[in-house]
Amino acid sequence: MEQQAKIYVAGHRGMVGSAIVRRLQAGGFTNIITRSSPELDLRNQEATAAFFAQERPDYVFLAAAKVGGIIANNTYRADFIYENMMIQSNVIHHAYLNNVKKLMFLGSSCIYPKLAPQPLKEDYLLTGLLEPTNEPYAIAKIAGIKMCDAYRAQYGCNFVSVMPTNLYGPNDNYDLKNSHVLPALLRKFHEAKQSNTDEVVVWGTGTPLREFLHADDMADACFYLMQHYNEEGLVNIGVGEDISIKDLALLVKKITGYKGNLVFDTTKPDGTPRKLMDVSKLHSFGWKAKISLEEGITSVYNSIKDNAFL
């Protein structure tokens, strides 16, 4: 990417998009275009078409999406498939119509089959059934990958796809009704500490294994791949290591300084047993994660603990 290139970051207010904006700015890129949801509804084809025709960006990071945790994914199934399909279809199509040099589509590790072999290789896409609770979201993200590949095949567009693992970091969502596991644990332990609650309840058995990547590492990987990856298919972005939910809860307990008990509600769903990314393809391009889990969570907690998770 040229320093003066016009770069559109879709979803710049979210955890992913804001991290990408910070990385671009750190790299000396100043011609960054952003629009908030009230300013531009990417679900609206006419509005998206007008935006691309007017701004004509050179590069696009497609990080805009409707996202949520296990409750939200399972409850708002229609919203998740409709809104994500509309957002990505409009952005990808109008990037093509307006001759965008390169587009990067950001997906999610939930695209892989529920019982796929571990670690998850890029080749495992569409080889089995998905996790039922987030199938609509996963179907939308798979469609985005295939759409990028289709526009590459038919029109020669340099549209690429990356699949980050579970992310955490600045601008995360701490609403317990629709947040992911790590921010939910941070809020639960912090509030239990503040109120001197005797116990913290964690959903499920604590046995599922999850991988966590700091958003700043994810953004650095996207920045790097935008300049070094130009192929069909997808690239996993992760750290290549996972941790059980129980051990994660114990780590968050330690970082927050909570002294009470940990209780697991086994009547609640566990979700996918394990989701570890195979990152050998990413490593082959010359990029590796730098922020350790304890270092990253500590940094996040120190930055938000005085803001009451608002």
Nearest-angstrom CA–CA distance, 174 and 293:
18
Per-residue confidence band for 49, with pLDDT thresholds at 50, 70 and 90? very high
Task: Tell me: pLDDT of 281 over 60.
Answer: yes
Domains identified in the chain and CATH numbers: 7-170+211-239+275-291 (3.40.50.720)
Average pLDDT of span 135-163: 97
Catalytic residues: 137
Q: Is 164 annotated as a binding residue?
A: yes
Q: Is 165 annotated as a binding residue?
A: yes
pLDDT digits (tens, 9 = 90+) for 99-135: 999 999 999 988 999 889 999 999 999 999 998 988 9
Helices 135-155 & 77-97 angle (0-180, nearest 10):
10
Q: Where are the alpha helices (DSSP H) in 101-164?
A: 135-155
Q: Where are the alpha helices (DSSP H) in 210-276?
A: 215-228, 245-256
Task: Tell me: pLDDT of 178 over 80.
Answer: no
Q: Is 210 annotated as a binding residue?
A: yes
Q: pTM (2 decimals)?
A: 0.92
Q: Is 16 annotated as a binding residue?
A: yes
Nearest-angstrom CA–CA distance, 161 and 91:
14
What's the CA angle centered on 153, arms 147 and 159, to 5 degrees? 55
Cα-to-chain-centroid distance, residue 224: 17
Task: Tell me: pLDDT of 256 over 90.
Answer: yes
- The percentage of residues in the chain with a pLDDT greater than 90, rounded to a whole number, is 85
Nearest-angstrom CA–CA distance, 56 and 97:
10
